Amino acid sequence: MRDTQLVMYDEDYRRILGVVQRLVRDANAKGIFVVDRNGQLIAEAGEMRGIDTTSLASLTAGCIAATGGLAKLVGEDDFPVHFHQGQRDNLHITLVSHRIILVVVFDDRSSLGLVRLRVKKAGAELAKVFEDIQKKTERASAKGGGTPFSEITDDDIDNLFSV
Amino acid sequence: MSFINYSSREINCKIVYYGPGLCGKTTNLQWIYNKTNPDLKGKMISLATETERTLFFDFLPLALGEIRGFKTRFHLYTVPGQVFYDASRKLILKGVDGVVFVADSQIERMEANVESVENLRLNLAEQGYSMDQTPCVVQYNKRDLPNAAPLDEMRSLLNPTGLPDFEACATDGKGVFETLKAVARSVLRDLKQMSG
């Protein structure tokens, strides 16, 4: 059975963004990134403009995948919370609902305790949003539509490669 | 597993380059990176050992254009080819939308090719995928070398079901973009088919 694809509509994005923008304020974070477990960036908030978010998303997913593999080796299902301490900035990474990765970048304006506390609440909210997205995707998929591919023709695909 | 983002109007897909050690997976990505317009690509990441062997993966984000107002973005990954990195290969295959199997044409690497294609089949099956159902193309790389095996022999060993296949020499780019276009097209057609 192939994984179901993730389809995010504008209203879903706004809900996610609402959660992470609030988390930036509540946790005094520099930046927040929501990443799909397969390495796709879903949303971001905070002051970290100009950072290479595509690389960040891919490397975060790789990190979660590698430690997930380690977890299984020692008989755990996953290691859902990671903390990386740097000289100036720190990373707090949480796996939400086995599918979404919440990355919080923070410095000495915040603390690990505060971030952990705020992430717990935001993680639960995000889990609900992604549960709703999943249900919506499954409903649309059962009806045989709900993605741009219902409208796209073979010619559209061929034209992409015609140049 | 593709990600369709209506908010940014993007379709994101994941393609994995698979194959035995030193077959040219990273060289494929390097060629694509070097020859692609800077506006269409992101930074290429290589998690490699000190001797430049792939340790975990290479990663290259690439935009291929628009379909009906949706930007199509492909994330290209390579796996580490060496036999003992199997745990890492399994992780990288998760959520894959399409696979390029890069075979090394040198006759003495045929056993490694067969072992790798079998490993791909097993690792896909472990995640509930099959090579027949997953968009897959085969690239016979290093065709320029004097010790390259005959193409027919490679086809019968590595591609008995007749997947789209290409001859290549990744160091000078021959066949690299043809392979990429074929797998990308195959992924998009598969997504279209899945959408009903």
pLDDT along chain B (196 residues), means of 10: 91 97 97 95 93 93 92 96 94 95 98 98 94 94 98 97 97 97 94 80
Is the pLDDT score of A95 beyond 80?
Answer: yes
Q: Strand A100-106: give its sheet, edge to edge.
A: A41-46, A31-36, A100-106, A90-96, A81-85
Q: Show the CA angle centred on residue B13, arms to residues A23 and B55, nearest 5°.
A: 85
Which residues have a Cβ under 8 Å from the Cβ of A135 and sit 6 or more positions away? none
Residue A65: its chain B contacts at CB < 8 A? 91-92, 94
Helix axes B151-158, B110-126, angle to 10 degrees: 30
pLDDT given for residue A145 in this prediction: 64
Structure-block tokens of residue A99: 């599918």
pLDDT band, residue A158 (cuts 50/70/90): confident
What percentage of chain B has pLDDT greater than the value 70? Answer: 99
Whole-model pTM: value is 0.92
pLDDT band, residue A152 (cuts 50/70/90): confident
User: Please, are residues B185 and A158 in contact by the beta-carbon 8 Å criterion?
Assistant: yes
* Interface contact B91, partner A, CB < 8 A: yes
B127/chain A closest Cα distance in angstroms: 8
Q: How high does pLDDT run on average in chain A?
A: 91
Residue A14: its chain B contacts at CB < 8 A? 7
Does the structure's ipTM exceed the value 0.90?
no
Closest partner CB to A69 (pick from B87, B184, B196)? B87
Report d(CA A102, CA B22) in Å as an integer: 35
Report d(CA B103, CA B173) in Å as an integer: 15
DSSP B148: B
* Interstrand relation of B136-141 and A6-8 (parallel, antiparallel or unpaired): unpaired
Which residues have a Cβ under 8 Å from the Cβ of B130 and sit 6 or more positions away? B121, B124
Average pLDDT over residues A114-134: 97
Structure-block tokens of residue B85: 């990195």
Higher pLDDT, A128 or B133: A128
Structure-block tokens of residue B74: 């492909």
* Interface contact A124, partner B, CB < 8 A: no
> Quick one: how many helices (H) and strands (E) in chain A?
4, 6
Higher pLDDT, B62 or A153: B62
pLDDT given for residue A146 in this prediction: 64
Q: Tally A–B CB contacts below 8 A.
A: 135
* Interstrand relation of B70-78 and B10-18 (parallel, antiparallel or unpaired): parallel
pLDDT given for residue B104 in this prediction: 98
Helix axes B86-93, B110-126, angle to 10 degrees: 50
Which of A7-16, A79-88, A140-149, B63-72 shows the lowest mean pLDDT across its residues?
Answer: A140-149
Q: Mapping DSSP to helix (H, G, I), strand (E, B) and coil, where does residue B58 land?
A: strand
Average pLDDT over residues A66-73: 94
* Interface contact A111, partner B, CB < 8 A: no
User: Are the Cβ atoms of B5 and A8 closer than 8 angstroms?
Assistant: yes
pLDDT band, residue A155 (cuts 50/70/90): confident
User: Please, are residues B13 and B97 in contact by the beta-carbon 8 Å criterion?
Assistant: yes
pLDDT given for residue A1 in this prediction: 40
User: Please, are residues B135 and B97 in contact by the beta-carbon 8 Å criterion?
Assistant: yes
What are φ and ψ of residue B89, in 5° steps? -60, -40
User: Are the Cβ atoms of A160 and B43 closer than 8 angstroms?
Assistant: no
* Interface contact B85, partner A, CB < 8 A: no
* Interface contact A70, partner B, CB < 8 A: no
User: Please, are residues B106 and B149 in contact by the beta-carbon 8 Å criterion?
Assistant: yes
Is the pLDDT score of A53 beyond 70?
Answer: yes
